[in-house]
Amino acid sequence: MLTGAGVSAGSGLRTYRGPDGVWEEHKVEEYGNIQTLIEHPERTWQLFGGMRAPVQAAVPNAAHYALARLENSLRPEQRFLLVTQNVDRLHQRAGSRNVVELHGNVSFTRCTNEACDLEPFVDDKDHAHAVPKCPKCSSALRPHIVLFGEAIPPMSSWPVKKALRDCDLFIAIGTSGVVSPASNYVRSAKYAGARTVYVNLEPLSPKNPAFNEEYLGKAEEILPNLLFCGNPSS
Ligand code: OAD
Ligand code: ZN
C-alpha cells in the first residue's frame, strides 16, 4: 500500500498540491528543499514547525482505520507493508504496525550535523521564531523530514524495495503521483505481477498505464468498501 496526503484530507490536514495545497501558500522552491534548510533554516521551521499543531490535533479517519483493520486481519503467512509519504503518524495512531515513513515524521526534531549522536526526538514546539540549537554539538536542529533534494534513507527505501519484489496487490491512495521515488513504485509492482489499484479524488494526470484499476472519490469513503466488500461504492 502506498499513501499520500489525500488519505489525511478527511482528517482536516492539507494536501500539498491543488487549490488549497501547502505549496500554493509556501512555494516549494522557497520552503521545501534542502537548499532552503542550508540558507534559510527559519523558513523550513516556519513551514514544517507550523504543521505540528494541526497534525497533533488531527485524528485518523475511516481510510486510516480501514488500512489498519486490513493489516490486522491478515493470516500469519500474508505480508503487508504500508508505505506512506505522510509525515503525520495518523496511520500508526489508527493501529497500522508495519509502516514505512518515506518522508519522515514532522513531529520529530533532529540535528543537522550528521556526525552528531543526538537521536531524533519528539518535539511539540513549532520553533517559528528562532532556529533551535543542538544540546550536544550546538549545530542547528531541523525537522525530521526528507526535503526535496535529499535521498530517502536506506532504512526506509530498503524494506520498500523488498516488498515490491514479491508484491501481489499494490494500492496507491490519495497521492498525486508526481513525487519520486514513490511515483515509480507502481511500475515495479506491476512488473512483479501485482494487481495495481489507484484510489484518489481526481484521476492521475497524466494517466499511468501501470495502474490496472482506478476508483475516484474520497479515500475515507472508498477504502472501507473496497477493502472489506470488494466493491468501492457499496
Ligand atoms: P499531493 O498534495 O501531491 O496529492 C494529494 C492527492 O490527494 C491529490 O491528487 C488530491 O486529488 C487527492 N485527494 C484530496 N483529498 C482526497 C481524499 N479525501 N481522498 C482521496 N484523495 C484525495 O500529496 P502527495 O502525493 O502525498 O513531501 O505528495 C507527495 C509528497 O510531495 C509529499 O509527501 C510532500 C510533497 O511535497 C514532502 O514534503 C517531503
Ligand atoms: Zn548535534
Q: Is residue 24 part of a domain?
A: yes
Q: Which residues line ligand 1 (CB under 6 A)?
A: 4-6, 9-10, 15-18, 21, 32, 85, 103, 145-146, 174-176, 179, 200-202, 218-220
State the total domains in the chain. Answer: 1
Going across the sheet that includes 104-111, the strands are 121-122, 104-111, 141-145
The domain that holds 110 is classified in CATH as 3.40.50.1220
Residues 6+ apart with CB under 8 A from 29: none
pLDDT average, residue stretch 167-189:
96
Pocket test for ligand 1, best of 102, 150, 200 (most atoms within 8 A of CB): 200
CA-closest residue to ligand 1 atom 2? 16
Question: Helix (H, G, I), strand (E, B), or coil: what is residue 107?
Answer: strand
Q: Is residue 129 part of a domain?
A: yes
Q: Tens digit of pLDDT for each residue in 78-103?
A: 999 999 999 999 999 999 999 999 99
Q: Tens digit of pLDDT for each residue in 187-231?
A: 999 999 999 999 999 999 999 999 999 999 999 999 999 999 877
Q: What pTM does this model have?
A: 0.96
pLDDT class for 234, splitting at 50, 70, 90? low
Tell me how far apart the alpha carbons of residues 195 and 206 are, in angstroms, rounded to a whole number. Answer: 20
Distance 22 CA to ligand 2 centre (A): 29
Residue 62: pLDDT over 70: yes
- pLDDT for 230 equals 73
Q: Is residue 233 part of a domain?
A: no
Q: Residues for the chain: how many in total? A: 234
- pLDDT for 153 equals 95
Active-site residue, from 26, 103, 127, 144 = 103
Q: What range does the domain containing 60 cover?
A: 2-228
What is the number of the ligand closest to the CA of 142? 2
103 is catalytic: yes
CA-closest residue to ligand 1 atom 26? 4
Q: Tens digit of pLDDT for each residue in 11-47?
A: 999 999 988 899 988 888 888 999 999 999 999 999 9
Q: Is residue 234 part of a domain?
A: no
Judge contact between 93 and 112, C-beta under 8 A. Answer: no
Where do we find the cell 542550508? Answer: 38
Instruction: Encode burial over 38-48: b for 16+ CB neighbours within 10 A, e otherwise.
Output: eeebebbbbbb
